[in-house]
A = this chain, B = another copy of it.
Amino acid sequence: MSKQIHFGLIGAGRIGRVHAETLTFRLPEAKILAVTDIDSEAAQALAAHCGIPTVTDSADEILANPAIDAVLICSPTGTHAELIVKAAEAGKHIFCEKPIAFDLGKIDAALAAVEAAGVQLQIGFNRRFDANFVRVRHAVESGEIGKPSLMHIVSRDPAPPPISYIRSSGGLFLDMTIHDFDMARFLMGDEVEEIYTSAGVMVDPEIGKAGDLDTALILMRFRNGVIATIDNSRKAVYGYDQRVEILGSAGKIEIGNCYPNQAIVSNGSTVHRDLPLNFFMERYTESFALELKSFTQAVLEGKPTLVTGIDGRIPVVMALAARKSYDENRPVRLEEVNA
């Protein structure tokens, strides 16, 4: 590789740290020149850990730095759309965490700015780079299982986030299901046209008091006729549960969970194994690295990214439709919320 991409990192929280470590320790073709965070101590600590030469007071300073080719937007969701607009106007390529925004108008403005500036944009749907989901997508795309008819996505967290997070996250469909909406589109290579949601508060009444749901079953019908479900729960006591199954005319493909080891222990009571990898940091470690590698290569080679702005927009439409369906207890067509 003849050139190195210089990054600016906006946001030094959990996911910002993950990305900083990937760029620093695993991608020789990338280098972070500057980092910023409202919490300047967090930014300083991350800079020290990863050898980032500059800590700035604001994202604006990063965007004004002509040595920076691309920005990683890892700040809170509420800031994403505006930062995308600014970064695009500054001519920076953009890697932005999901979701772009809760509001379609803001998303459209952001995507328009990206388009006008001709910069590249990738949305942080990391699961598309996970070896398991890649294998499933391959099975669908290659015809290995024939023409698909039914799909099931199970996506359950080991434990609910703090109520404070739930209040500002946009709710279950926008903070959690959004990954599964993306996965549904990615795996099927087709678009959903109608959604029906059945959901409830079964994990913690406090989640309900905060106006959110913690358990949901979302039924989707794709344009190609495939019927799919997403099964979400904020709490699976046995850990992070991430599975997919697709039935096709020539077979089916299923993926099970990932485990820290392959050991099976038999004793006088059961035949058992250790619990699955507990949460997304362990389960999706490689996919976080691969999405940044993919973005870096797209920028280096001037090719389109694999998760575009539209890929960031559609799951938000789906989330809005899912909520509307729940509120009105009826199937909702995506065009109803996409007017």
In this complex, how many residues of chain A approach chain B with their Cβ under 8 Å: the count is 71
Tell me if A's interface is mostly helix, strand, loop or mixed. mixed
- Asked whether A18 is an interface residue with its Cβ less than 8 Å from the other chain, the reply is no
A219 CB to nearest B CB, Å: 5
Chain B residue at minimal CB-CB distance from A148 = B202
Surface stretch bound by B, among A6-14, A100-108, A173-181, A224-232: A224-232
Q: CB of A149 within 8 A of chain B?
A: yes
Would you call A250 and B262 a contact (CB within 8 A)? Answer: no
Task: Check B217–A150 contact: CB distance below 8 A.
Answer: yes
What B residues does A134 contact at CB under 8 A?
261
Within the complex, what minimum Cβ distance (angstroms) separates A207 from chain B? 13
Beta-carbon contacts of A185-224 to B below 8 Å, as 1s and 0s?
0000000000010111011000000000001110101000
Q: Is A164 an interface residue (CB 8 A)?
A: no
Return A126 CB to nearest CB of chain B, in Å.
16
**Quick one: which of B216, B237, B238, B262 contacts A255, CB cutoff 8 A?**
B262
Q: Which of A37-45, A54-62, A272-280 contacts B (4 or more CB under 8 A)?
A: A272-280
A216 to chain B, nearest CB (A): 8
- Given A200-B225, A263-B139, residue A250 in contact with residue B268 (CB < 8 A): yes
Q: Please name all residues of chain B whose beta carbon is closer than 8 Å to the beta carbon of A233 when the two chains form the complex.
A: 149-150, 247
Interface residues of A in 91-132 (CB under 8 A from B): 131-132
A267 near B247: Cβ-Cβ < 8 Å: no
Instruction: Choose among B49, B156, B219, B271 the residue that contacts A247 (Cβ–Cβ < 8 A).
Output: B156
> Is B251 a contact of A256 with CB atoms below 8 Å?
no
Complex Cα–Cα for A249 and B216 (A) = 14
Residues of A in contact with B (beta carbons under 8 Å apart): 25-26, 28, 49, 131-132, 134-136, 139, 144-147, 149-150, 152, 156, 196, 198-200, 202-203, 215-217, 219, 221, 225, 227, 229, 231, 233, 235-239, 241, 247, 249-258, 260-276, 329-331
